Amino acid sequence: MSFTASYAPPPAPAAVRFTGVRKSFPDGDHVVDVLRGIDVSIAQGSFTAIMGASGSGKSTFLNCAAGLDTPSGGSVLVGGQDLTALRGDALTAFRRDHLGFVFQSYNLLPHLTVAENILLPTLLGAPPIPAAWQREVLALVGLSDKAQRLPGELSGGQAQRVAIARALATKPAVVFADEPTGALDPHTAAHVLDVLRRTAAQVGQTLVLVTHDASVAASADRVLFLSGGVIASDLHRPDAAHINQRLSHLSEVR
């Protein structure tokens, strides 16, 4: 009898695990249920795209996953840590050390240089970033010659690449990006996304990205579609045609 034939390695812990996650917002004299019980596991090192109509809860989902917002119910585990059990400084420190976030609006500090913006997490208490890795991260996003510039001297695409470099510099396990190229022209957007995907893959990071663009989602390992407060569809190894088909189906059933 052979044991080796049936041996399967234990599954890696999920990078992100939602169990029964709900999120409601007060709206006048009633509440709006935006997430209505989300159960999902996102594999370590994978690239997942989140899609859905405007207002379907994509940013809410991402903010709950990244500890920027607190669910009304359920639990969010990131690398095995229950975010809903962390408060205040402990949550801030966990986010700083383990999570990266890229916003649509870059969120760079205007009076700090590119290099200083990338080092910002260390000013907030993250461990020092070795000088060689600082240089490498700038090179990965193609901005080696812009280290001493101020954000106001950069194009939108360059500014977003600084934000990506900052999200990667501390080598967080998971990088969340909420429509990171929404403010860029299509050509620049494609380049910036390519930088984000390649660098995340190079560092071995899990990438969770909100996008409205089917061609962007088609390069993900998996696409989650939000509708009606739940994951209405879950596509693995998607292609653009299938993604568009699901999107049009979702808009019909809404």
Coil, strand, or helix at residue 41?
Answer: strand
The least distance separating ligand ATP from the CB of residue 35, rounded to whole angstroms, comes to 8
Q: Which is nearer to Mg ion, 54 or 248 (CB)?
A: 54
What's the token pair of residue 196?
Answer: 């984000």
First vs last Cα of the chain: how many Å apart? 55
Sole binder of ligand ATP in the list 59, 84, 158, 205 (CB under 6 A): 59
Contacting residues for 184 by C-beta, under 8 A, at least 6 apart? 156, 157, 160, 192
Q: Nearest Cα to 53, choosing from 245, 222, 228?
A: 228
Other residues' Cβ atoms within 10 Å of the Cβ of residue 130 = 9
Binding residue (CB under 6 A) for ligand ATP from 2, 6, 54, 248: 54
Which CB atom, from 138 or from 209, has the smaller least distance to ligand ATP? 209
CB 145, min distance to ligand ATP, A:
34
Q: Which two tokens stand for residue 40?
A: 């999902």
Q: Is 211 in the site for ligand ATP (CB under 6 A)?
A: no
What residues from 88 to 127 belong to the interface with ligand ATP (CB under 6 A)?
none
Residue in 48, 60, 84, 199 binding ligand ATP, rule: CB under 6 A: 60
Q: Which residues contact 231 (CB under 8 A, 6 or more apart)?
A: 38, 39, 40, 224, 225
Q: Is residue 20 within the footprint of ligand ATP (CB under 6 A)?
A: no
- Out of 18, 57, 98, 174, the residue judged to bind ligand ATP by CB under 6 A: 57
Q: Residue 55 binds which one of Mg ion, ligand ATP, none, with CB within 5 to 8 A depending on kind? A: ligand ATP
